[in-house]
Amino acid sequence: MLRDPLLLAECRALARAVKPFATLEALHGSSEWRELRPRFERVLGAVRRHEPPAAPAAPRHADRVRVVQWNIEHGNWYELVERALLEREELAHADVLTLDEVDLGCARAGNRDVTADLCRALGLHGAWAPLFLETTTGRDDDPRMAAGRENEEGLFGIAVLSRWPIGETRILELPSPQELQFGLERMVGRHCALVAEILRPGAPFVAVAAHLEVHRTRDHRTAQARVIADALAREERPVVLAGDFNTHTFDRGLWHSALQGASALMLWPGPALRSRLLRPDRGPARERLFDVLHEAGFRWEPYVDFLPTLLLREDRLEEAQALPGPLRSVARRVLDWAIHRGTLRLDWICGRGWRSGGGRTIPGLDGPGRASDHAPITAELTA
C-alpha cells in the first residue's frame, strides 16, 4: 500500500530536529520549539482513515456487536496477530476492534502501516490516531526486532476497526507524563483516546479506543479516565470504551514506589495478591479510574472474566529494575518467585447503553515469541 511521502518526510525531519535536545524541557525551551510545536500538533492531531478493498460481510448476529480489544505490542509479531484475528474462532468475525500499540513506520514492526495492513487483511474500515513520534527503535525487545533497520514515520498509536463505516472521529488528548516518555525513549507526544462514530445501520454507536499511562500513579490514570468520561457525558448513543488501561494498582514515580511495589509482590499472601491484580476495580489498592467510569454510567463486569491479560517479566518490571543493586542481588531469588505471581488484568471492555453482554480472555496468544505480550479479550454486546 502506498504511503504518504509528505508524512514520511515530515516525521523524519521532526525526529532529526529532536536529536540535539537532552530533555523535553530543553526542547520546549528552545528557540526552535515555536516553529516545531505546530508541526508536531499537525502530525499527532491527524486521524488516518482506511477503507476495505470490498464491502465487509454482514455481521453473524444482527442483534449483537462482537468487540475485540487487544494491545498488539506494536505489531512486532504482525503475522501472528493477523493470523489470530483471521483464524481463531473467538476473534474472527469481530464487528469492532480496538487496538493499542499500533505502529506506523516503526522498524520494530517492519516499518509497516499496521492499521492499513490489518484493514486490508480483515476487510474492515479503520481509523488510527498517533500518540507519539518515536525517535529511537524503542525499548525491551524492540531494538532486537528492528534488526538494524531505522524507523520510517516512527509513529506509535491506537486504532478502531469496524465492520460498518466509520463516521466522525476525534482525538481526546489526555494528561500525560510527557517528560518521562521523552526521558525513557525520546518519544514526543501524549496519551490520547480515539473516539469513532460507528455507522451501524439503524443502530449507530460510538467506539472509543484508549491507552492509559503505565509509569505514574493511580491518580494519573484516574485523571485520564475523567477526561474521557467528561468528553462522553452528553453522548446519548451506546458507547463501547475499551483499551489497555494499565490497571496494575501500583503508584509509580514516587520515592518509595520501587520498594512498595516489590514488597507487595514478595510479601502479600497469594490469594490477596491475585485478587488485587485481577480485580483492580475493588479493594483498598483499587484503581480509582473505575469509580470515575462507574459514575459516568459505564459497566465492565458483564464483559470480563477477570483472568490475566499480561504476565510480568523481570526484564520489564519497573519495581524490580528500580531496586538498589545490592538489595536486588540479595532479593533476586525471592523476587523471581514473586514476579511469577504477578498476573495482571490490564485490558478492559466497558459499555454504556447496552442491555446485555458477555466476555472472555483468549488464551495462548500472549507471551515471549507469541503474537503479543498481552492477551486479547472479547465481548458481545446487545443494544
Grid coordinates belonging to 271 = 490469594
pTM of the shown model:
0.93
| Biggest CA-to-CA distance, the chain | 64
Mind listing the pLDDT tens digit for each residue in 292-319?
Answer: 999 999 999 999 999 999 987 655 555 5
| Per-residue pLDDT at 271 exceeds 90 | no
Task: Decide: 91 and 65 in contact? Cβ < 8 Å.
Answer: no
Taking phi over 0 as left and psi of -120 to 50 as alpha, with beta for the rest, 243 belongs to left
| pLDDT score, position 318 | 57
pLDDT recorded at residue 324: 59
What distance in Å separates the CA atoms of residue 135 and residue 154, rounded to the nearest whole number? 7
Give the separation between CA 330 and CA 333, rounded to whole angstroms: 8
**pLDDT above 60 for 339:** no
For 94-154, strand residue ranges (E) read 96-104, 125-134
Instruction: Specify whether the backbone of 367 is left (phi greater than 0), alpha (psi in -120 to 50) or beta.
Output: left
Enclosing H/E stretch for 193: strand 192-198
The angle subtended at Cα 279 by Cα 160 and Cα 84, nearest 5°, is: 40
Confidence class for position 3, pLDDT limits 50, 70, 90 = confident
CB 250: neighbour CB atoms within 10 A? 24
Residue 299: exposed, middle, or buried by beta-carbon count in 10 A (0-12, 13-18, 19+)?
middle
| List of domains in the chain | 5-247+287-309+345-382 (3.60.10.10)
What is the average per-residue pLDDT within 127-148?
Answer: 95
- pLDDT digits 0-9 by tens, 53-84: 899 999 988 899 999 999 999 999 999 999 99
Q: How far apart are CA 372 and CA 23, in angstroms?
A: 31
Question: Cα–Cα distances in Å, from 44 out to 125, 269, 319?
Answer: 21, 44, 31
Q: With cut-offs at 50, 70 and 90, classify the pLDDT of residue 272.
A: confident
- Count CA atoms closer than 13 A to 59's CA, side-chain side: 17
